[in-house]
Structures are given as C-alpha cells and as structure tokens.
Amino acid sequence: VQVVESGGGLVQPGGSLRLSCTVSGFTFSNFEMNWVRQAPGKGLKTGLEWLSRISTTGNNIYYADSVRGRFTVSRDNAKNSLYLVMNNLRVDDTAMYYCARDHSSGSFDDWGQGTLVTVSS
C-alpha cells in the first residue's frame, strides 16, 4: 500500500490551494478516504484534526465544522486519486495535511507522508 500527498506550499491568506492524494497497492474504489491535518510546532494545538471523509462513490462527504464551506473533497476512482480544494485559507489552516485510508472499524489504517500547507503573507 502506498499513499502519496502532493500540492502543498505557501499561500497568502484568502488564497486557494488544491491537494492531491494518489494511492496504489489496493483497490481505491473499495475504501472510504479521509483528510486529517496537524498544525506544526509545539504545544496543545499540534494534535491531529480530522477534516473530512468521502464515501467510496463520492456521493457522501462529511466535513469538520472548521472547514465546512471552505474546503471541498472529491475523488476520481479511475485515477486512484483523492482531492482537497481549500478556499479562503486562513493563517490557522497552516498544517501538515494527511490523506488516510478508512478501515472497516472507522480507524485509519494507512496514511501518506503528508504535504505541508503554509498560509502566510
């Protein structure tokens, strides 16, 4: 199993960015997928924050309150790819963004290495 995120970078507040997650080694269309982020640095705010989950067909998508209305998740099963479009980015969206496969138990059993998003002027 391989999960690889890409698309991170430096963006100004209010800007947009599109992250991609490409997988191999398993049948992508059989698994729900998630986005999780982790703020950099030290202290209590560096924990893991679940952002979104998308069903196998893409017909059902769930978002955390913190990103609903600004972030949009989609998938292309033919390309074994998951996407996260982030609009109206804020400084506190700065984080490492991970793509994670959903296990039947609801746990996340395979993760990518992450892609870093920095929102700064």
Partner 1 sequence: DIQMTQSPSSLSASVGDRVTISCRASQSVGSYLNWYQQKPGKAPKLLIYGALRLQPGVPSRFSGRGSGTDFTLTISTLEPEDFATYYCQQSETTPRTFGQGTKVEIE
Q: In the complex, which residues of this chain contact partner 1 (CB under 8 A)?
A: 34, 44, 46-50, 53, 62, 64-65, 98, 103, 105-109, 111-114
Task: Give the distance from CA 4 to its chain's centroid.
Answer: 11
Q: What gap in Å lies between CA 20 and CA 13, rounded to an integer? A: 20
Side chain identity, residue 16: S
120 burial (CB, 10 Å; 0-12 / 13-18 / 19+) is: exposed
Min dist. Cβ of residue 18 to partner 1 (A): 21
Judged by beta carbon, residue 35 or residue 83, the one nearer partner 1 is 35
Nearer to partner 1, 89 or 114 (CB): 114
CB of 4 to partner 1, least distance (A): 11
Minimum distance of partner 1 from residue 47's CB (angstroms): 5
**If DSSP codes are grouped into helix, strand and coil, which group holds residue 67?**
coil
